[in-house]
Each structure stands twice: as C-alpha cells, then as structure tokens.
C-alpha cells in the first residue's frame, strides 16, 4: 500500500492510503483448447518437438500416473500452468 499526501483547503497535510492492485496477465485464452477433450486449456507444456495443451483434469491425470509423469518430464522444456485461473 502507498500513502499519497493530500493538502486540504486549510493547508494541512493529510495522507490517503492507496491499495496497489495486482492484475494477473494470462497467456492462455479461452480459445486455447485441451488436446485430449477440447475443454479450455489451462496448462501448456512446451517440448523440443512442439507443445501440448491440457485442461486441468487431463494434466492432473497424466501427472498423477508414474508412467505419465516420467514421459511428461522427458518431453517438457517449459510448463505454463494457469490452473489457478479457476480459483
């Protein structure tokens, strides 16, 4: 929070609190769709041979499976996870 000085008509100084607003910038849009079910994509995994888009359900399903997790980790260079968009 910041304090901004205000000068009243009588010349005294008052301070007003201003709350800093944080605006989240999302990279994935509602038009980005899951490669498995065509729901809105919330996770983008970029690998050496391309990128994969997943809804939260399918990303969780892969990552909760030990074989799927190993395959994802061998493919992934970067993971953009925007599942927090739902909360």
Judged against a pLDDT cut of 70, whether residue 87 lies above it is answered with yes
pLDDT band of 84, cuts 50, 70, 90: very high
DSSP secondary structure code for residue 29 in this structure: -
Identify the pLDDT of residue 22.
Answer: 66
- Residues 45-72 have pLDDT tens digits of 999 899 999 999 999 999 999 999 999 9
- Residues 8-42 have pLDDT tens digits of 777 777 766 666 666 678 999 999 999 999 999 99
- Asked whether the beta carbons of 38 and 53 are under 8 A apart, the reply is no
Identify the pLDDT of residue 1.
Answer: 59
């Amino acid at each position: 929070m910041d304090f901004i000085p205000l000068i009243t008509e009588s010349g005294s100084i008052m301070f007003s609190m201003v709350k800093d607003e944080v605006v989240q910038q999302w990279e994935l849009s509602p038009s980005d769709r899951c490669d498995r079910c065509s729901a809105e994509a919330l996770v983008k995994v970029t690998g050496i041979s391309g990128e994969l888009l997943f809804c939260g359900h399918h990303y969780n399903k892969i990552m909760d499976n030990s074989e799927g997790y190993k395959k994802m980790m061998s493919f992934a260079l970067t993971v953009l996870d925007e599942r927090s968009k739902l909360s």
